[in-house]
Chain A
Amino acid sequence: MFKLNLKIALRNLLKNKVYAIINIGGLALGLTAFVLMLLYINHEESYDTWSQDLKNVYQIRERHSFFTPDNKEYWQDLSNSRVAGIIKSNVPQFKAITKIDKEWGNGFSVKINKNEPVLIKSIKDADSAFFHVFPYKFIKGNSEIALKEPNSVVLKQSLATKLYHTTDVIGKAFRLVRWLGDKGIPLKITGVVEDVNTPESVVFNAISHTGDQDHDPTDPGNSHYGEIYAKSESLLDTTLLNKNLQKVYVDFKKKSFSEQKLNFKEVYADGKMPGLKAITLKSVHLNPPFATNWIEKIKPVIGISVFLLLVSIINFVNLSTAQSVQRAKEVGVKKVLGSYKKQLLTQFLLESAAQGVIALFLSIILVEMLIPAFNHQFDVKLSFWQSEQLLTIFSELLLVFVLITLLAGFYPAWVLSGYNPISVLKGNYENGLKGIALRNVLVVFQFVISVTFIIAIGVMEMQSRYMNNKDLGFERDKVINLKTGYEENFVKRIKQIPGVKYVSTTTQVMGNAFNTSTKITFKGNDIELNRVSVTMDALQTLGVKVLSGRLFSKEYKQDTVNSVVLNEAAANLLGKNLVGQSYGFKSYDNKIISFQIVGIIKNYHNEGFDKTVLPTVYKVSNLGGSANTNNLLIRFDTDNYNGILKNIETEWKSLYPDFPMQYESLDDAFSQILLEHKRFVNMIILFSVISVSLSLLGLFALSTFVAKRRTKEIAVRKVLGASNIQIVNMLNKSFLILVMVANLISWPIAYIIVKKWLDGFAYRIEMPVLPFIVATIISVAVAVLTVSLQARKAAVSDPVNALKYE
C-alpha cells in the first residue's frame, strides 16, 4: 500500500513539477527565516553552558541606589567589594567566591620585552579564586595555584597563540599598561586555559591577579565596585539564599553607617532599602542589569519570522487544496475499492510530510548558505553543523516539522479524503470549489503582509536617506578622534605637522554623550542648559556653522574667562538678539558670575537622530592635565590624511612607547551610530523579500491552477469567438480584485506601524504618500504579470485539445 501511495505521490509531483517546486520551495523559504531565528535563540540560550559545574555559580547583585529616570528597580552586577567578605563569613553554602574588577577603557596595552605594544581587550583583574569558581580547563599550569601569587596572569589559549604563537608560555612575562601614562605592572604567565565554544557572560582574554582585588579600601567611606561570583557545592534554594543575603547585607550597611557616623534611617528615608541578591549565572545573560534583554529585543523578529512561516504554510495549504481536484478521481476510486477515510487522510498527511522533509532539507542548505552573511550583518557568531546545540536544534526542527506537517497537511488531507466518490466519479468536481472563499482570503492575507512590507521598506528607505543627507551641523569629514586626553606637549608637537589644521578636545563627542546640566539666570528666568566644555579650537575643529556672532578665538582675552557660545536650541529658549548679552550663573559659593554670549551656532548632532539636540552652552576651559576627556579631535586640511596620520603616530610612539595609538574618523563614528538603524532596515528588507516572493509564488501557482481548471470554459469561450486578450482579462479580473482589497487593508495597517517606527526618531520625515502608491502599483503590476503569464498560456492553447477529452 505504502509503496503504491508513494508511487502515486511521486508521479503526481513529477507531473506538476512547477507546482511542486513552488510548494516545497515556498515552505523552504519560510522555514529558512524560522530556522535562522531558532539558531539565534539557541545561541543566546547557550550562554554560560560550557560546563555542567556552572549550574552552581551565582552572580551577586546589589540594588541600584541612584536615581533613574523611569523610577524602576534595578539590580546592578557591580557590588561593593566588601560584599565578598561578608558572604564568605555568613553564607557557608558558598565554597568559593571571586571578585573581578570591571573592565574599563578600550583595552589594555600588552608590552612584551621591547616589542611594539599590542592593545588587548578584556584582560580582567581578579583575586586568586577566579578559577575555583569558573572551571576552565587548564592546558598549561594548574587551576589551584595559577593565580595564587600576585602579579600572575592566566591566558586564554587564543590569546597565548596570538601573542606568542605557542601555548608553551608558562614563566614568560609581559608588562600590562592599563592607561596612557600608567607605569605598568609586570605579570608572569602561570597558566593557559582552553577557549570555550559557547558564549560567556564573563568574557576575558586573560585573568590577571595584580593583588588590587585582594583588599578592600581601608576607609569605610570609600568603596571599590566589581563583579562578584560565588560557587556552591549543590543547587541552592535562591529564595532562601536571598533572604539570608538581604539580612546580612542590611546588617553590614547599618554597621558601616555607624562607623561613618551616618544615620541609616535618614539615608534610606525614601524607603529604598539597600538590597543584595544572588542570581544563577545561567540567568545573567537574560537579565542584563540595565539594558533590555535579548528576548525583548528580538520579539519583533520572532513575530515576523513566525509570520513568514505561517505565510508559507498558508501557501502550502492553498496550493494543496487547489491542486487536490486533480487527485479527486484517485480518492473516488480508492473509496469505491474500499479504502477508509482514515487511510486516505494518512496518505495525504504523509505526502505533506514528505514534502515537508524536502523543504526542511532545502532550508537547512539555505541556512548554511546564509549564515555567513547573517553573522556579518547582525554581528553574531551562529553556526549550524558546528553548533554545540546541534542536538537541540535537530529536536526543535523535528518539532517544527511535525507542526508544519499537521498545519499544512491536515486541511488539504481532510478536504481530499472527504470527497464524495459518487460525484467525483461522475466527473463532478464541485467539491474542489469549496475551498475557493478560503483560498481568496488567504491570498488577500498574504498580499496584505507583502504590501505592508513594501510600504515599510519605502518609508524606511526615505528616512535613512534623510538621515544620511541631513545637515549634521558640523563637517564630519577630515576629522579624526584620537583616544587620548589633551596633553599640551603632544598637542604642540602634532600641531606642527603640516596638514594638521586644528587640534582640540571637548567633553562631548560623537556617540558618546556625557551631558552635564547647568542652571543659568537670564532676564530673571531660571533656565537649565546642557554644558559642554571645549578647548579654544574645538568648535572650529568640528566645523560647526555660525548663525550669528563668532566662535572662540585667542584674540579675545575674555574667551578663556566668561565668553560662551550657545547652540540654536539654547538660543531659542533665551530669546532674540542674544549676541552681546549676558546671563548669570550662581557658583558653588553663591556668587553670581556673569557670562557673555559671543556667538550662536547651528545645532550639531553628536548622537543619533532618535535623540533631540539638547539646548547647549559651550564654554572654553582648560581641558589639559588631569581633566582627561579621552578624545582628541584633529582636523586635517585634506581628505588624504593617511600620510599625516603616520607622522602623528611617529610622534605618539616617541612620547608613549608603551601604549598603542587608537583613533577613529568622525565619519566612521557617525556611521556607527546609524549602524543599528541600518541593521534593522536590512533585516526588514530581507524579510520583505521573502514575504513578497512567497506571495508571488502563491499567486503564480494559484493562477496556474485556476487557468488549468477553467481550461474547458476558456475553450468554449474561444470557440464562441472570444479573443486571447479578452480571456487574459477575464482571468486577471478575479485576482486583481483580491490584490486591490489587500492594498486597501494594508494601507491603514502599514500607516500605524510605520508611524510608530518614525515616532522613535526625534528628526524624521513627514509620513510620505509615495511608498503607499508605489506599493500598490508594484503589487498590482506583479500580480497582473504573474497571472497573465498563466492566462496567456491557457488562452492561446488550441481549444480543440481542451474539449476533446470531455
Chain B
Amino acid sequence: MIKIENLEKVYKTEEVETTALNGINLYVKEGEFVSIMGPSGCGKSTLLNVMGLLDKPESGSYKFIDTELLTLNDRERSNFRKRNMGFVFQNFNLIDELTVFENIELPLIYNKVPTGERKKLVNEIIERMNIVNRSGHFPQQLSGGQQQRVAVARALVTKPKLVLADEPTGNLDSSHGNEVMELLCELNETGTTIVMVTHSSHDASFSNRIINLKDGHVISEKINKSRNEELI
C-alpha cells in the first residue's frame, strides 16, 4: 500500500543542518502492523510525520497505493490526510476545551459526515473503547490511559486506511499501555494498516514487522514470526 523511496529530510537551523532522514526506502503492505524502532534522534518521528503528510521531505518519493503524495499541494494534503489517515500521539493531544464526545466527533466534522451519522459513529466507537460514562468529560478529568483511548478513538472514528502512532504508550504505565496496544491490535485485525513508532520491544512484539532506524537509515528489518503465525 505504501512505497517510500530515497526519502531525505534535512532540518536547517541557524548553525547546523541535521539530516533526519537519509535515503529511507520502505514499504508497508495493506493490513500490516509495522513498528519503527531505533535510538533517540534517529528520525523515527520525522519519518512518521512525513508519512502523515505533516512534514515535507527534501527529496524522495512516497506512493500511497498508486498516488504520489509528495507532489500534492497543501490543500490536497489536508484532504488526503483527513480521508485516509488517523493519528495517535505520545502526549494524546486532545483539545482541552472539548469534551470526549466532541473530540472524537471533530474529524468526522472535517470529513463532512452528516450529523445523524456522526452521532452514531461516535457512540459506536465510544462503546467499543469502553469510555461510555466519560463521554461528557473534558480531557483534564480523565486518566492518562483514558485520554489515550479517546485519542485512539478519535484516530479510528473516520475508519482510516492508515493509522500512524508515535509512541502511543510512552506516557502510560504498563497496564494502561497494554490496553492501548490491545486496542491497536484489534483494529489491525479488522484490516486497518498501522505504523507505530516505539521504544518498547514489548509493544513492538504486537506488530507483524519491525523496522530499525539509525541516523536516518533503515538498518534492519525483522518479521515478527509469532505474530504472523497468530495471524495465519
Residue A339 lies at the interface, judged by CB distance under 8 Å to chain B? yes
- Determine if A4 and B74 form an interchain contact, defined as CB atoms under 8 angstroms apart: no
A333 proximity list for chain B (CB < 8 A): 93-95, 106
B107 proximity list for chain A (CB < 8 A): 337-338
- Determine if B78 and A332 form an interchain contact, defined as CB atoms under 8 angstroms apart: no
B203 proximity list for chain A (CB < 8 A): none
Residue A329 lies at the interface, judged by CB distance under 8 Å to chain B? yes
Partner of B110, one of A332, A337, A426: A337
Residue A340 lies at the interface, judged by CB distance under 8 Å to chain B? yes
- Determine if A4 and B93 form an interchain contact, defined as CB atoms under 8 angstroms apart: no
- Determine if A8 and B87 form an interchain contact, defined as CB atoms under 8 angstroms apart: no
A1 proximity list for chain B (CB < 8 A): 109-110
- Determine if A339 and B105 form an interchain contact, defined as CB atoms under 8 angstroms apart: no
A340 proximity list for chain B (CB < 8 A): 74-75, 78
Overall SS of chain A's interface:
helix
Q: Kindly supply a per-residue 1/0 record for chain B positions 60-98, scoring 1 wherever the CB is within 8 Å of any chain A CB and 0 otherwise.
A: 000000000000001100110111000101010111111
Interface-facing stretch out of B27-35, B48-56, B120-128: B48-56
- Determine if B91 and A427 form an interchain contact, defined as CB atoms under 8 angstroms apart: yes
Contact A329:B78 (CB < 8 A) given known A336-B54, A421-B54? no
Docked CA distance A416–B94 (Å): 17
Contact A330:B95 (CB < 8 A) given known A4-B106, A337-B110? yes
Residue of A nearest to B110 (CB): A338
- Determine if A329 and B95 form an interchain contact, defined as CB atoms under 8 angstroms apart: yes
- Determine if B79 and A332 form an interchain contact, defined as CB atoms under 8 angstroms apart: no
Q: Kindly supply a per-residue 1/0 record for chain A positions 389-428, scoring 1 wherever the CB is within 8 Å of any chain B CB and 0 otherwise.
A: 0000000000000000000000000000000011001110
Q: Kindly supply a per-residue 1/0 record for chain B positions 151-181, scoring 1 wherever the CB is within 8 Å of any chain A CB and 0 otherwise.
A: 0001000000000000000000000000000
Residue A11 lies at the interface, judged by CB distance under 8 Å to chain B? yes
Which A residues between 1 and 19 are near B, CB-CB below 8 angstroms? 1, 4, 7-8, 11-12, 15
B71 to chain A, nearest CB (A): 18
Contact A4:B109 (CB < 8 A) given known A336-B81, A422-B55? yes
Residue of B nearest to A332 (CB): B93
Residue B102 lies at the interface, judged by CB distance under 8 Å to chain A? yes
- Determine if A7 and B54 form an interchain contact, defined as CB atoms under 8 angstroms apart: no
Docked CA distance A329–B82 (Å): 18
- Determine if B97 and A330 form an interchain contact, defined as CB atoms under 8 angstroms apart: yes
Contact A11:B93 (CB < 8 A) given known A334-B106, A338-B81, A421-B54? no
Docked CA distance A427–B109 (Å): 25
A337 proximity list for chain B (CB < 8 A): 81-82, 87, 106-107, 110, 154
Residue A121 lies at the interface, judged by CB distance under 8 Å to chain B? no
Residue A341 lies at the interface, judged by CB distance under 8 Å to chain B? yes
A341 proximity list for chain B (CB < 8 A): 74
A339 proximity list for chain B (CB < 8 A): 78, 82, 110
Docked CA distance A363–B93 (Å): 39
A427 proximity list for chain B (CB < 8 A): 91
- Determine if A7 and B102 form an interchain contact, defined as CB atoms under 8 angstroms apart: yes
- Determine if A4 and B102 form an interchain contact, defined as CB atoms under 8 angstroms apart: yes
B53 to chain A, nearest CB (A): 9
Contact A425:B89 (CB < 8 A) given known A339-B78, A340-B75? yes
- Determine if B87 and A336 form an interchain contact, defined as CB atoms under 8 angstroms apart: yes
A334 proximity list for chain B (CB < 8 A): 95, 106, 110
A12 proximity list for chain B (CB < 8 A): 97
The CB with the most chain A CB atoms within 10 A, among B81, B93, B94, B154, is that of B93
Docked CA distance A381–B98 (Å): 50
- Determine if A4 and B55 form an interchain contact, defined as CB atoms under 8 angstroms apart: no
How many residue-residue contacts, CB under 8 A, span A and B? 69
A421 proximity list for chain B (CB < 8 A): 54
Docked CA distance A421–B93 (Å): 11
Docked CA distance A341–B98 (Å): 20
- Determine if B106 and A425 form an interchain contact, defined as CB atoms under 8 angstroms apart: no
B165 to chain A, nearest CB (A): 13
A337 to chain B, nearest CB (A): 5
B55 proximity list for chain A (CB < 8 A): 422
B81 proximity list for chain A (CB < 8 A): 336-338
Q: Kindly supply a per-residue 1/0 record for chain A positions 327-351, scoring 1 wherever the CB is within 8 Å of any chain B CB and 0 otherwise.
A: 0011011111111110000000000
A435 to chain B, nearest CB (A): 20
Which B residues between 97 and 113 are near A, CB-CB below 8 angstroms? 97-98, 102, 105-107, 109-111
B157 to chain A, nearest CB (A): 10
- Determine if A422 and B54 form an interchain contact, defined as CB atoms under 8 angstroms apart: yes
Overall SS of chain B's interface:
helix
A332 proximity list for chain B (CB < 8 A): 93
B91 proximity list for chain A (CB < 8 A): 425, 427
A760 to chain B, nearest CB (A): 55
B40 to chain A, nearest CB (A): 13
- Determine if A8 and B95 form an interchain contact, defined as CB atoms under 8 angstroms apart: yes
- Determine if B82 and A338 form an interchain contact, defined as CB atoms under 8 angstroms apart: yes
- Determine if B97 and A11 form an interchain contact, defined as CB atoms under 8 angstroms apart: yes
Residue of B nearest to A341 (CB): B74
- Determine if B82 and A7 form an interchain contact, defined as CB atoms under 8 angstroms apart: no
Docked CA distance A734–B181 (Å): 48
Residue of A nearest to B81 (CB): A338
- Determine if A338 and B78 form an interchain contact, defined as CB atoms under 8 angstroms apart: yes
Docked CA distance A499–B92 (Å): 93
Docked CA distance A8–B96 (Å): 9
Contact A338:B52 (CB < 8 A) given known A4-B105, A12-B97? no
B80 to chain A, nearest CB (A): 8
Residue of B nearest to A342 (CB): B75
Which A residues between 305 and 342 are near B, CB-CB below 8 angstroms? 329-330, 332-341
Docked CA distance A717–B55 (Å): 36
A425 proximity list for chain B (CB < 8 A): 89, 91, 93
Residue of A nearest to B87 (CB): A336
Contact A336:B111 (CB < 8 A) given known A8-B95, A8-B97? no
Contact A7:B98 (CB < 8 A) given known A336-B54, A337-B107, A340-B75? yes
Docked CA distance A261–B209 (Å): 121
Docked CA distance A422–B109 (Å): 22
Residue of B nearest to A14 (CB): B97
Docked CA distance A334–B111 (Å): 12
The CB with the most chain B CB atoms within 10 A, among A11, A337, A422, is that of A337
Docked CA distance A422–B81 (Å): 14
Residue of A nearest to B96 (CB): A329
Docked CA distance A237–B95 (Å): 66
Which B residues between 8 and 65 are near A, CB-CB below 8 angstroms? 45, 49, 52, 54-55
Which A residues between 51 and 81 are near B, CB-CB below 8 angstroms? none
Q: Kindly supply a per-residue 1/0 record for chain A positions 425-445, scoring 1 wherever the CB is within 8 Å of any chain B CB and 0 otherwise.
A: 111000000000000000000
- Determine if A8 and B98 form an interchain contact, defined as CB atoms under 8 angstroms apart: yes
Docked CA distance A764–B107 (Å): 71
B52 proximity list for chain A (CB < 8 A): 336
A675 to chain B, nearest CB (A): 55
B97 proximity list for chain A (CB < 8 A): 7-8, 11-12, 15, 330
Q: Kindly supply a per-residue 1/0 record for chain A positions 238-261, scoring 1 wherever the CB is within 8 Å of any chain B CB and 0 otherwise.
A: 000000000000000000000000
A803 to chain B, nearest CB (A): 16
Docked CA distance A320–B207 (Å): 45
Partner of B98, one of A4, A15, A422: A4
Docked CA distance A1–B114 (Å): 11
Docked CA distance A675–B54 (Å): 67
B89 proximity list for chain A (CB < 8 A): 425
Docked CA distance A705–B182 (Å): 42
Give 18 A-B pairs besides A7-B98, A8-B97, A332-B93 with Cβ atoms closer than 8 angstroms.
Answer: A4-B102, A4-B106, A7-B97, A7-B102, A8-B95, A333-B95, A334-B106, A335-B54, A337-B81, A338-B79, A338-B82, A338-B83, A338-B107, A338-B111, A340-B75, A340-B78, A425-B93, A426-B45
A-B contact pairs, 11 of them (CB 8 A): A4-B102, A329-B95, A333-B94, A337-B154, A338-B78, A338-B79, A340-B78, A425-B91, A425-B93, A426-B45, A427-B91
Instruction: Give chain B's interface residues, CB within 8 Å of chain A.
Output: 45, 49, 52, 54-55, 74-75, 78-79, 81-83, 87, 89, 91, 93-98, 102, 105-107, 109-111, 154
What are the 8 tightest A-B residue pairs by CB atom distance, in nearest-first order? Answer: A338-B82, A11-B97, A337-B107, A8-B97, A338-B110, A338-B78, A330-B95, A1-B109
